[in-house]
Structure 1
Amino acid sequence: MSQRKRNESPKHESHRKKKKSKVKEPKLYQMVGYTNEENPFGDHNLNQQFVWKKKVEKTGEGDESKLSTKARRERQDHFLGEIHKVRKRRSDREAEQEEMERLRAEESRLREAEQYADWHKKEESFHLNQARVRSKIRLVEGREKPIDIMAKNLILLGNCDDDDDSALHDTSQLEVELMEPTAFFRGLNIGDLRELQADIQTYLDLEKDGPNKSFWSALKLVAKKEVQDASQSDSGIQQANRKAGIHSAVMDELRRKFAAKSSDELTSTHMDIQLRINSNDPTIDVEFWEAALEELEVYRARAELREFHQKILKQQLGRLETKREELRIYREEHPEEMEKPAAGTGKDKAEAEDEPTANQDGSAAAVDMERAEAAKGMEDLEEEMGLADEVGTKDQVYWWQDKYRPRKPRYFNRVKTGYEWNKYNQTHYDHDNPPPKTVQGYKFNVFYPDLIDRTNTPRYILEPADTKEFCILRFSAGPPYEDIAFKIINREWEFGRKRGFKCVFERGILHLYFNFKRHRYRK
């Protein structure tokens, strides 16, 4: 230590050290990246050398003045190297932690994306199922829309993954639609066509890559064409072939040819026309062939729908044949159950009624309808109307009996009974000892599953009976069914819907429900 340093005052020494510290601070920051104010150790004297005074006093080692300049520099370099290693380890650890955080975030993002995709798929499946359920409910309740009828065969024959089996949506009484899907575009106005087009697009969007995607895609093409034609018809605009300079007779001839071909043949024709357009031959009328190609697309869609419908009908025919074969085998294995019950044997009444009587409709559809109606059971104060309530009709000769075998329709009827709590009955009877029951109404269910002319609705006719207390209720439907009549109480009917009146013909069943008017004495 120099003489000057030993002789300086404490104040000057402090000032000198502060000045020296300020000079060293930039060098320290350059070497280790820390300053007295900014370092992870909280040390405000970082640029000052640390001396372990207790150790120096005890061992007498560590005096920097005894070390040579070279040794001091080597020692300093060693410490700096250690510092750099520590800093590198720290930075590596921080980088590793950041990478782990990034990987965790990426894994979480992928997991959430997978869950979202699965959720999105389930949501679309749910919406598709709900669309089917809505169609099913409208079909069962008899208020179907065109889109419901188009989707009807897919629902009935199980060509869609429908998990809903609720009894509220029972489609067992629905019949397979025999008309092609394109037939339901006829007679619709522009508003109905656009609504149907939107419904078809909804089914197509929800179907995604389902088994019925081609069906809805073809319907979409046909619906688009029908909407275009209806719009042009309403606005008085000439058709596209007129605008393109194509004679209507030529286009009509093309349409006739397209309508007679299958979808495979139309696909081959489509390829030929496309090659003709792309040939760049100046003698080819490109505008004409493009218009023809546009028409071909629609007719190919119609052909695909027609073939799809034929496939559905063949599938239904196969199911019916399978059921018929199963029934035949069952009858062969259980002949005793198929025998008609003898009088007084006490066999089940429903079994006996299932056997067709002379000239009665014995078709499987009619029997199934009768069983389904019987399975609904009786409501309170209802009784079944038996064969005794049926009355004979006069022998009639029908104009169609040479072509179709006349048959009587099956039926399942109920009579509604109750108590009249008038003044007399209130005086002489109570709930423990009720008065005699009286007829308060009827429920008629007559089954016409094989009606030839489905546009002709069955009707009922009231005719006088042999006494004024009764009347004859006759049901008439047309070929191949004979008229059927019942003898009922001759009283005035309630025709209000809220009073229980119902007269509906749906799904091959004529429902006629009515109650009698109640006349109350008033002073």
Structure 2
Amino acid sequence: MTKPRAASPAIAREEWEATRPSNALRSAVRRRAASVSEKLAARGLGAFVWRKKLDRDLSRGILPGIVSVRSERRRYLARCREADGVRAASAAARRASSPPPVPPAALLARAEEEEAKEVAFLLQQGRLRAAIRFAEGRARRIDMLVESLRGARRCALGAFRGASAEELKELGEEIGTLADLDRENEGFWEAAQLLCDAEMVKAAGAGADGRSGRSLHSEVAADEVTELIRVEKAKKFLAQNYSTCDDAPAPERGRSTAADDDEEGSEPLGEVALPPTETLPAGPEWRKPRYVARVRTGHEWNKYNRVHYDHDHPPPKVVKGYTFVLHYPDLDLAGGKPPQYTVEEDGSGSDETCIVRFHAGWPYEDVAFRIVNREWERSRKAGLRSTFDRGVLRLSFHFKRVFYRR
């Protein structure tokens, strides 16, 4: 069987020329499509003219489907109904897969639980540091109180013996910090604070019993007697429960070690007022978020400080970093945008400090804190932590260490 001969190129061209749409037909179709599109647009309906498809259909001998405004309107409405159906199905699927909203009471309880965990962690770290410093022979005065409260040693009164005014001032600040965290042992820290304040008065040269060589008004004398009674009660409370008759002497300082670089204290940090020109938009009531803000301080035992200072005469404390914990329970409930923090210039004109501002939007006001203007250590390994989980924003960072060079 012989194969049919292929048509010659001339014959194929004649056939294509016969089926090719004329320019007049092409122009008429385009004008018709443009007219329908304009009429649909005038009625607020979307219309799009796909000219390449029109040319392709014409080249294949297919008349375009654009015939009237009514038919195009029906097609447009059908497409809209189909798109609405797809969106409704997608929204239903999201609602079915999303967890039920958490009531505000549960969010508040969860925030309190997170705060309790944070406090427990800080207290546990303080106990561990005290035990390590005792084991290495470089205990501090606050460590004697921590170990006495823990029951490991009964040497609470020894923390105040032979202390200078500067040491007592530092001890008083550390007692205040632990008292804010450890609410369960409020009685112990209150007694320690009373005794520390009394020892500071004695060290400053004004005896707590008021013997200053001049006569006192009867009401002033009565107040001093009342204070003496409170101090004696506090001393007796510590002696009976947290001290022994052979109380340990004041803590001794060993030689400087690398572990001293990691010693840190923690102090509360108060917010700063924002400029009065910033007004909140009118509307529902605004409120400030609950927060815990602390500044971490300590001695830096770099080469320079080890040469010029020792543990009996330590270098000045420096700010090593900050920790901020802010609670936004309503943001977690609404599933809104997480809060943000920005670092801004200090309005006081000082280059040594700057302002870190936390912004969340309604219903929470902005909160700002003044911090030291130094470069942050950005690596997560070095302590940078910024998270927002379950309505709680946490920001914690250290500053870059400054190394001494000749």
What band does the TM-score fall into relative to the shorter chain? 0.3 to 0.5
TM-score if structure 2 supplies the norm length?
A: 0.38
Greater Rg over alpha carbons, structure: 1
Q: Which structure has the higher relative contact order (CA within 8 Å, separation 6+)?
A: 2
TM-score if structure 1 supplies the norm length?
A: 0.30
Structure having the higher helix fraction is 1
